[in-house]
A and B are shown apart, each in its own frame.
Chain A
Amino acid sequence: MKRTQSKSVSRKQLQDLLTQIMVPVEPDLRFVRILKARLVTYRGSGMGPIWGLAFGVGVATVVTVAALGLTLRVILALLGIIDSVSRQQREAG
């Protein structure tokens, strides 16, 4: 395909050039590994992460409410004890 030699290209030259130029390229191995992990580990479901997030938020909410309930009960118990002690002291005094 040298321009100084000829303005036209033979079929053979063209095939040789295509053979030289159109060679396989290697994808980035990191990309290949990460994509496989996404597809195989997480089954490639686009909704997966959303459902996972919703589940996580739900669990966090339940745990928070339960923890708040427990804290409230502990505070009320402590107040009850303090009240009981102070009442006993008043009665004794």
Chain B
Amino acid sequence: MSEHARDEQELVRRAGSDAAAFGELYERHVKRIYNYIYYRTGNHHDAEDLTERVFQRALRHVDKYEDKGVPFSAWLYRIAHNLVANWHRDRSRKPLVPLDERLFIARTGGQPENRAIDREEIEVLMACVRRLPEDRQQLLILKFVERMSNAEIGEIMGRTEGAIKSLYHRTLNALRDEVGAVLAGDAGQSDTS
């Protein structure tokens, strides 16, 4: 077990009764959990609301947390996953594409002529991503936003490294087909016009 893992285990053990220990865990994980929820909901307001609920729930139950050899973050991601699933069920709607203007500017370098094209690309791709099953969306978020390895993703999602590799392969193929179908549809429309 690494030094970091031991340190985290000790913090988790103390977090039930020690506010500072829980505060340290919060500092370590809040951005990751926020990012996960943001990409699942598509807007900052709900991401903030659900992130708050994740940590409130974690605080209430951290004293009952059992170390099963997986990172503490896996437990937090599971809470976040359940709350996001409830959020979608309650609203019976799909997540929104993040349309924050600042994000587009940051991603395109702020060139106005590129932004129109890139915005379309982002919208097409994110629309295809949000049509994927939940586990595949989670995989893409952990892979691209959190830059995790297959082994780390496996620990979070409770699967083997091989299973994650296989799921990633199938996810990319499905996404490629979906994007191709959307683009082919759009090209067909522009040909007829």
User: How far is the CB of A41 from the nearest CB of chain B, in Å?
Assistant: 7
Residues of chain A within 8 A of B82, CB atoms compared: none
User: Quick one: given A28-B48, A40-B20, A40-B23, are A15 and B172 in contact (CB under 8 Å)?
Assistant: yes
Q: Does B141 contact A (CB under 8 A)?
A: yes
Query: For this complex, into which size category does the number of interface residues on chain A fall?
Result: 20 to 34
Query: For this complex, into which size category does the number of interface residues on chain B fall?
Result: 35 or more
Q: Does B56 contact A (CB under 8 A)?
A: yes
Bitwise, A11-38 to B at CB < 8 A (1) or not (0) is: 1001101111111111110011001101
User: Whole-angstrom distance between the alpha carbons of A46 and B60 in the complex?
Assistant: 9
| Chain A, residue nearest B190 (CB) | A3
Q: Does B113 contact A (CB under 8 A)?
A: no
Residues of A that sit less than 8 Å from B by CB: 1-3, 7-11, 14-15, 17-28, 31-32, 35-36, 38-41, 43-46
Pick the 7 closest A-B CB pairs, nearest first: A22-B144, A44-B59, A40-B23, A27-B34, A8-B180, A7-B184, A40-B19
